[in-house]
A and B are shown apart, each in its own frame.
Chain A
């Protein structure tokens, strides 16, 4: 394994760890008060946005939920960005190709890794001819990698330029945009352009990139790769390290904003919630306003709730 390969492996580890820390942080946040918003798509039979509160004595009735309802909204949100389509069409026109490109690039990277692992374990398809002669599976892997890679890069470049142009040209968007927001789009664009140019000039079948990945898993001494390929990989590694510390990790956050807040309509029925409520009310309170006045945080939420101010 070369230094650049080792660096990239470390970056992937930091990326995974960073995302895991984010996810754990959100999932370990204390139980919060309910703050859901309707329509909640798992409310079965209520496509107009209704809830179980529409039923008399709702707590006596078995709760009808629909996982399919959630799934339908989730899939149309993830793959079509339906919310943006309905509520901000102009932004969708640039944001959707940008994100679709990122999805394609993510699949491309996974295929590249799969090719690298497969190559480490056996013969590696080096190019179209070699792939075709190595059998059907390597050929499919090769062409899928090529297809997703190129489609992804072009969509990211196109969409990224659109996002940047729209943000710069539109006063509403520009007014609250931070330097980091421009930098983030710029970083992704730089990655896509670098990879595209390298593909065009040095690595038309991604065989060198696949070889770079294979080297990570290969016990044999590292084979030298052109600086352009090592460079694009290092840039990708740096981006992966940076990503979890930015709002670009919203693909993690979105799970929580939807499932843990916006769609969390679980009623407090049964011992599991009872225990959580008791634990929450047992927390000490430190707020200092005169109507709370709890020096030394001696009182708990339950004790304060009993007071009449």
Chain B
């Protein structure tokens, strides 16, 4: 069990508050039950430590530089408090004021949520990762520094916290130790969601102080709005990429067809996470094949932002969120499509379909639908010729939090898998109770310094445990196994996780999307669409 830390200790001087020891982490099943299950966690180098604050747990997501003088320290605290004040304002924070007030007012600190948190559990129950810990910090700061009643009343309510630049810096960093999976909220007897408070802290840092991880803000939403994609892919680069993918599809399947781009009046505007074009082109290729085979009227967009479903704002900044959501809707409106279908990207699902539902009014309120719903419809309707024997290898399903727990799309992907993958088995727990992959809330793309070690070693540990358990008894590398993760961010995390634990080489575990499995099962395509290591490709039964 982790060391007890009080909220007061956050203000304490230079030392690193918590030192993680992999020996404390939750044990993994064989073959990771010994030292194999505990790859080392890298520390920052001395020169990095000289520049950046890592005083929380030795990792840094925000990459906050040490203040150079007292004035900078005081400014940091002042701006933080200004931001917290805005959180409580109906104009500045109409987006989440109501839920925030309820969360600040009613936590009974029963700690039921802690046992649901994959990060808290995986870390060996580190106090600082307890879902209530960071919420309580914000609550106590508000009670002591902003609420009426004076120090005696706030002290009676436990607000013993001292606010200095270290408290602020550690709290900001702590807001990036939660994947916003909201499993904690699901078990809260009072209905409190600590993840929202985490997000609100991120919001103060971004919207008031201009501080956010570079991958989310500067290289994320800002780049997306300016160049068209969070990957930096411009419209011209997109068209090149589409041309390459068309050629690849022809090579793999013999199918030659032009991908529709900017086709006005199409039934569907399909928006992928642009990371797919760069990292997993087989995913958009598989979508194109399925839609072509099913005879669907669809199009991609080459307008700025219109070809990247990413909306990182949903993790840290309402203004950036609104800007991107509106841009997506505007592109669809101009193309006069009947609906937007969101590709295999979990946070894009939740952002555009659900959260933006109360931002997109009038002409921008274009209907939005999940690709999983569409794919389920196509598979069930018999418009595709499918032979499940082509997917004759063990398959398990990862439920992306944003699509499943936060949006209620649970069965379509299962109906598809039950139909096309005879080796399908569930993880435990699954569905709305599933564990986050550990890459949620932007972690999957945050690759700076030593953060990936924390992400794989701690945040993704419970997911890795689930995967090993789902394939128990079949972990020999000669048996290729497929973790189906219909979400770009989850795939990014799985890529890192499997690398970190060398799980493909040691256990034959692969990952990929759902639509690739559908194409792999298509009876009228000769070659397998999914390729494992050459010698491991399973033979198609006669």
Contact = CB atoms under 8 A, between A and B. Distances in A.
Interface in B336-380: 339, 353-362, 365, 367, 369-370, 373-374, 376-377
Contact of B158 (A31, A179, A265, A288): A179
B90 A29 contact: yes
A178 B156 contact: yes
Interface residues of B, number: 101
B206 interface: yes
Contact of A304 (B185, B323, B374): B323
B152 to A, nearest CB: 11
Contacts of B107: 247
B108 interface: yes
From A46, A51, A257, residue with most partner B Cβ within 10 Å: A257
A287 B92 contact: yes
Contacts of B217: 291
Given A35-B193, A54-B412, A285-B91, A292 B358 contact: no
A226 interface: no
Nearest to B104: A247
A83 B189 contact: yes
B106 A258 contact: no
B94 A56 contact: no
B408 A39 contact: yes
B105 interface: yes
B406 A286 contact: no
A276 B101 CA distance: 20
A209 B312 CA distance: 61
A260 B98 contact: yes
Interface residues of A, number: 86
Contacts of A114: none
Contacts of A30: 90, 94, 97-98
A70 interface: no
A59 B127 CA distance: 44
Nearest to B140: A178
Contacts of A256: 98, 102
B369 A31 contact: no
B101 A29 contact: yes
Name the prevailing secondary structure of the B interface residues. helix
Contact of B186 (A37, A84, A253): A37
B99 interface: yes
Given A267-B357, A283-B90, A301-B322, A25 B367 contact: no
B323 A292 contact: no
A66 to B, nearest CB: 14
A191 to B, nearest CB: 19
A46 B431 CA distance: 12
A82 to B, nearest CB: 9
Given A53-B373, A181-B158, A258 B98 contact: no
B54 interface: no
Contacts of A49: 404-405, 408, 410, 431-432
Nearest to B90: A30
B182 interface: yes
15 contacts: A32-B97, A36-B354, A50-B411, A51-B409, A52-B408, A172-B130, A250-B108, A256-B98, A257-B106, A262-B185, A273-B358, A278-B362, A288-B82, A291-B210, A309-B323
Interface of A: 25-26, 29-40, 43, 46, 48-59, 77, 81, 83-84, 86-88, 91, 95, 171-173, 175-181, 183, 247, 250, 253-254, 256-258, 260-262, 265, 267-268, 273-274, 276-278, 280-281, 283-292, 297, 301, 304-309
Given A277-B358, A287-B319, 5 more contacts: A50-B411, A53-B407, A176-B132, A291-B217, A305-B325
